[in-house]
Structure 1
């Protein structure tokens, strides 16, 4: 990894580390394994208490990337500060528990250079477990290449971009003011804002990252995910599809949590009017009563 290839756009990779001592080394080394030669890496430890700082310092001494350790500020604030210090035309935020595949930027950067209307380029993922082993084939997500505009993303017309693969055009991030610290789950909201600003989101078919499934994944905190998603939808309540989108999501989440968390399921069901209940609601009710 070098910055001497000045004819190629610089990619800034940002890793905000938080209590991922078991995974952070694989994430960092995957950046240095890229076939694309013009990359800078910035790493910030955001208040870890598990020995991450000492491990990252050892890796910094070996590899020479930019590293700061700080008290916990939260992911969005940390990412915005890292963006301000970075120099790349393109920005990639990598979770400190995820891994890039070697051809990632060699695929994404040429695509972005050829498509100035694209604000975010993403790609496919391979799901792995906590030890780095691929999950069974039946659990993998193989999806075709696709282009999304705001309506596609907001109304869930097409599958959205996998978070570990997002490559942002700096210009697009700057246009929407970066990440919003008031939103706990940052990626979906910034995607929507960039799409609403007039950019497309393009998702390549090729797998370009490994997404690690383990006990502390954010998506497993159902209440946080649901409350955040509904708050995000509300930010776009002026959109004509807002109510349909909100109700579709409530129905889907009620079905998911019906046999996991009866209290949360009851709260969601109370928000779904009778006229808006559908086959998913019935499926969720079956799970809900079966759990009693």
Structure 2
């Protein structure tokens, strides 16, 4: 059987600091048949120069349109039988492409394969990036198997499946992967596996991370309202309850202030319940980082839970009040023309 050509597509926006690391790991892949293209989404840093200095073809877009559009452009300008999307802030393990292809070759019912990121951050080793690496790794690894949530940071898709399902929705700049995961999984198996590994340059500042999570939670409401279920493989009912009770702990602080110290048990119980909702994650943090890091992790994840709940509430209100918001996921889009 002939070795299928894999088109490695790297969407990039202002990732000059990590792009060289990413492209070096693409060049170091053990899989023999690879073509690679960087789609620069109108970066304002040196991303284009970094890619060109390594001899990698670059498609420079005239304006910023988001990862979804950049991936579509990459597909339109490559020829591989298998599409492998890798974000510009990800360093793949040397066998990542080979492992993804092996799964697709062995299991024809699998339409796409997504990888799981290591818990350690790639470049920015801050307390926040350590938190995000552990949290994201656990939420992904605990869902290993068939999922409905696309993880596009490392993802291999058969080109015929992409053609059948259609392109990424370029109007969805923060939730295009959730939309695409639902679309694929309605027709094909979508596999999340630790056989495909890499390391991510995670968010290293708290406020940008919270802002991103707020908008992602808000923008998922119209999709979840239509699907009437969470995407499997990342978000679970217990984690949703954990976010809700964490947010409820804040207004519950009024109880001991209004009715006396005995009522302090209510916010304390809610806080403990938010931790119990994802206790295996905290066990992982303890094993990998020790007791000294655990209070910081707990505090940041509490803020993350509250932020997600506020984002969901804002999205629900917007869904009730805005018809265009309710229709956010209704449209289909053609493949972006070649740049």
Tell me whether the two structures share a fold, i.e. TM-score over 0.5. yes
Of 162, 186, 197, 2:176 maps to 186
**Structure 2 vs 1, CA of residues 271 and 212 (structure 1 numbering), >3 Å: closer, same or farther?**
closer
1:121-270 correspondence to structure 2 within 5 Å = 121-129=113-121, 131=123, 135=130, 140-141=137-138, 143=141, 146-148=144-146, 153=148, 160=149, 162-184=151-173, 185-196=175-186, 198-215=187-204, 221-237=212-228, 241=229, 251-255=241-245, 260=303, 265=309, 268=312
- CA 11–188 in structure 1, closer or farther in 2 if over 3 Å, else same: same
**Structure 2 unaligned spans of 5+:** 251-301, 317-339
- The alpha-carbon distance between structure 1 residues 192 and 252, as it changes in their structure 2 partners (threshold 3 A), is farther
How many Å separate the matches in 2 of 1:246 and 1:147? 14
Residue 107 of structure 1 deviates from its aligned partner by 1.2
Contact 1:147–1:200 under 8 Å retained in 2: no
CA contact (8 A) 2:214 2:307 kept: no
Structure 1 residues 268 and 7 mapped into 2: Cα distance closer, same or farther (>3 Å)?
closer
TM-score, normalised to structure 1's length?
0.71
**1:246 to 1:111, Cα distance in 2 relative to 1, 3 A:** closer
Distance 1:33 1:219 in 2: 34
Question: What residue in structure 2 maps to residue 32 of structure 1?
Answer: 27
2:59 to 40, 65, 68: 68
Residue 268 to residue 255, structure 1, CA distance change in 2 (3 Å): farther
What secondary structure, in the 3-state scheme, does the structure 2 residue paired with 1:23 have? helix
Which secondary structure does the structure 1 equivalent of 2:15 belong to?
Answer: coil
What SS does the aligned partner of 1:221 have? helix
- Residues in 2 aligned to 1:213 and 1:246: alpha-carbon distance in whole angstroms: 22
The structure where helix makes up a greater share of residues is 2
Alpha-carbon spacing, 1:255–1:91, altered in 2? closer, same or farther (3 Å): farther
Deviation for aligned residue 1:119: 0.8
Where 2:16 maps in the other structure, the secondary structure is coil
State the match for 1:107 in structure 2: 99
Equivalences, count? 248
| SS of structure 2 residue aligned to 1:129 | coil
Which residue number corresponds to residue 86 of structure 2?
A: 94
Alpha-carbon separation, structure 2, partners of 1:38 and 1:256: 49
Cross-structure match for 1:281: none
- For 1:25 and 1:69, how far apart are their aligned partners in 2? 17
Unpaired segments ≥5 residues, structure 1: 1-5, 154-159, 273-292
Separation in structure 2 between the aligned mates of residue 127 and residue 138 of structure 1, nearest angstrom: 5
Residue 15 of structure 1 pairs with residue 10 of structure 2: yes
